[in-house]
Amino acid sequence: MFTPNNHPHRIALNNEVHARPYEALISPERIAYIAVLSNETTRPLDYQQLCRLCERYQHKAPNPDASHFSADVGAFRFKWERHSEFTSYTFFQRGEFAEPFAETVLESLPQDWLDELSTQQTIVAAHAAIQRSSELTPNVDSIGAYFTGNFIVGSYVGDNVATAFTDFQIQGDGFSRILLYDNNLGARQAGRMLQRLFEIETYRMMALLAFPLAKEVSTALSQAEKTLVHITSTLAKNLEPDEAILLDELTTLAAEVENIVSRTNYRFNAAVAYYDLVKRRIIELRETRIQGIQTFSEFMDRRLAPAMNTCDSVSRRLEELSARIARASHLLRTRVDIAREQQNQALLASMDRRAHLQLRLQETVEGLSVAAITYYTVGLVGYAVKAVKSLGVPINSDVAIGLAIPVVAIIVALGVRHIRALVTREGKHGDL
């Protein structure tokens, strides 16, 4: 038989589409959902906490690299999921109840384990209840009592096979509430529907993590924009400022803005991704309006969209400010380069004038040198002539000295010129 030679990642990639399966839910059922922030540092602690829960109920724990896990421990069922920025626990308990939120499934969990979980940073905590409904539209007034009188959000979902309600409020116990009426839900369909509702709440909160950051950096952005306006105005008005000082201010400003970009870029990009997930999950609800009640999509459009627009606006301001600083830096550097080129040209002209003066001075010195050398040489010739005359040679010393002057002067001048030419030639070769 043929056995495939699998790609190293084939099995993992194939199993990825089956990751985090939906739980089968049969009404009536109560559910508790808790999502805590996590990262590479806290992931081992999250796994250890899961192992302690499994150990408490003598259940085998998953592998350390697992991203999801489900178990039935008798008193309740639970599902654990690991995401990139958070870890979620969902607890299920099937059975009849008179009031959906009077008791919760968490009362069946070990208190010490819950106390340990509470030390982590919770981003979402929600109680949910699924119950059968004989009416397509439950009494909205009676439902409002389950949400302590808050304005509720709800709609028919899944093409009218269920009705979902929430108020997106955190109650006094630190949990929000979701109520799902089963009109004609299948078990897996109920699990998918409830999972979407939990994900809407989770992704909404994860998206909103960028909102405080956006408000925090807005003040710094405004100050940076004012500084940039001052620098560009100074350049535009040709006020002859010290370009070095302006360039230093601009470089400092660029560093500050890039620091803000580095600190916020990931969070803003994550907010966009989470917001897209929220909108996608709402579409997957396939909701239909209940007269007089705000739908999930309307609530998000009115409450979440403005916050996301603020984050997007701050992100775009950062990008635009960074680009403007880059253009201003290029303009100022061009101005500095032009000024430096002008200074270099003036310096070269000055050096050329000095070189010309030095040449004139050199020629003058050479002339004086010829005269001086000729004078001393002719003096030596004079002594030699007098010595010869003293030996009895008939010679007119004055005439001899007079005739020697032009001959010596010519020889000395030619020698000086030869030496200058030799030095000039050696200097050129040295430059090469």
- Cα within 13 Å of Cα(347), Cβ side: 6
| Whether the Cβ atoms of residue 403 and residue 385 lie closer than 8 Å to each other | no
Residue 385 has pLDDT above 80, yes or no: no
Using the CB atoms, write b or e for 157-191: b if 16+ within 10 Å: bbeebbbbbbbbeebeeebbbbbbbbbebeeebbb
| 165 and 224 co-located in one domain | no
Q: Residue 269 has what pLDDT?
A: 95
Q: Is residue 427 part of a domain?
A: no
Q: Residue 429 has what pLDDT?
A: 59
Q: Is residue 430 part of a domain?
A: no
Kindly indicate the confidence band of residue 21, based on its pLDDT and cuts at 50, 70 and 90. confident
Q: Which of 151, 207, 208, 146 is nearest to 180 (CA)?
A: 146
Q: Residue 115 has what pLDDT?
A: 94
| 292 and 396 co-located in one domain | no
End-to-end CA distance of the chain: 78
Residue range 407-428, pLDDT digits in tens: 878 887 788 777 777 777 766 5
* Cα 155 from chain centroid (whole Å): 39
Burial (Cβ within 10 Å: 0-12, 13-18, ≥19) of residue 196: buried
Q: Residue 104 has what pLDDT?
A: 93
| 326 and 398 co-located in one domain | no
pTM as predicted: 0.77
Kindly indicate the confidence band of residue 239, based on its pLDDT and cuts at 50, 70 and 90. low
Q: Is residue 432 part of a domain?
A: no
Residue range 288-323, pLDDT digits in tens: 999 889 999 999 999 999 999 999 999 999 999 989
| 41 and 67 co-located in one domain | yes
Among the candidates 289, 311, 345, a domain finishes at: 345
| 175 and 238 co-located in one domain | no
Q: How many CB atoms lie within 10 A of CB 337?
A: 11
Residue range 64-80, pLDDT digits in tens: 888 889 999 989 999 99
Q: Residue 49 has what pLDDT?
A: 93
Residue range 175-224, pLDDT digits in tens: 999 999 998 888 889 999 999 999 999 999 999 999 999 999 998 999 99
| 334 and 216 co-located in one domain | yes
Among the candidates 171, 195, 219, a domain finishes at: 195
The stretch 367-380 carries a mean pLDDT of 77
| Residues across the chain | 432
What is the C-alpha to C-alpha distance for residues 146 and 167, in angstroms, rounded to an integer?
10
Both tokens of 13, joined, read 């990639």
Q: Residue 431 has what pLDDT?
A: 54
| 149 and 217 co-located in one domain | no
| 149 and 51 co-located in one domain | yes
Helix (H, G, I), strand (E, B) or coil at 181: strand
Most confident of 174-178, 318-322, 334-338, 365-369: 174-178
Mean of pLDDT over the chain: 86
If one compares 382 and 221, the residue with the highest pLDDT of the two is: 221
| Whether the Cβ atoms of residue 277 and residue 203 lie closer than 8 Å to each other | yes
| 251 and 181 co-located in one domain | no
Among the candidates 132, 165, 195, a domain finishes at: 195
Q: Is residue 249 part of a domain?
A: yes
Task: Tell me how many domains the chain contains.
Answer: 3
| Residue 373 structural domain | 361-421
The stretch 343-371 carries a mean pLDDT of 76
Q: Is residue 12 part of a domain?
A: no
Both tokens of 403, joined, read 């005739």
| Whether the Cβ atoms of residue 168 and residue 299 lie closer than 8 Å to each other | yes
Kindly indicate the confidence band of residue 363, based on its pLDDT and cuts at 50, 70 and 90. low
Helix (H, G, I), strand (E, B) or coil at 80: strand
Both tokens of 155, joined, read 């709609």
Q: Which of 252, 265, 222 is nearest to 328 (CA)?
A: 252
Q: Which of 138, 127, 126, 140 is nearest to 182 (CA)?
A: 138
Residue 232 has pLDDT above 90, yes or no: no
**Distances from the Cα of 67 to the Cαs of 19, 239, 270, in angstroms?**
8, 63, 20
Q: Is residue 307 part of a domain?
A: yes
Residue range 110-166, pLDDT digits in tens: 999 999 999 999 999 999 999 988 666 677 778 888 998 889 999 999 988 999 999
Q: Is residue 203 part of a domain?
A: no
If one compares 383 and 216, the residue with the highest pLDDT of the two is: 216
Q: Residue 427 has what pLDDT?
A: 60
| 281 and 184 co-located in one domain | no
What is the C-alpha to C-alpha distance for residues 260 and 253, in angstroms, rounded to an integer?
11
Q: Residue 251 has what pLDDT?
A: 86
Kindly indicate the confidence band of residue 370, based on its pLDDT and cuts at 50, 70 and 90. confident
| 28 and 83 co-located in one domain | yes
Both tokens of 132, joined, read 């059968």
Q: Residue 136 has what pLDDT?
A: 64
Q: Residue 10 has what pLDDT?
A: 81
| Whether the Cβ atoms of residue 232 and residue 201 lie closer than 8 Å to each other | no
| 216 and 187 co-located in one domain | no
Q: Is residue 204 part of a domain?
A: no
**Distances from the Cα of 420 to the Cαs of 359, 407, 413, 414, 416, in angstroms?**
12, 20, 11, 10, 6
Residue 16 has pLDDT above 60, yes or no: yes
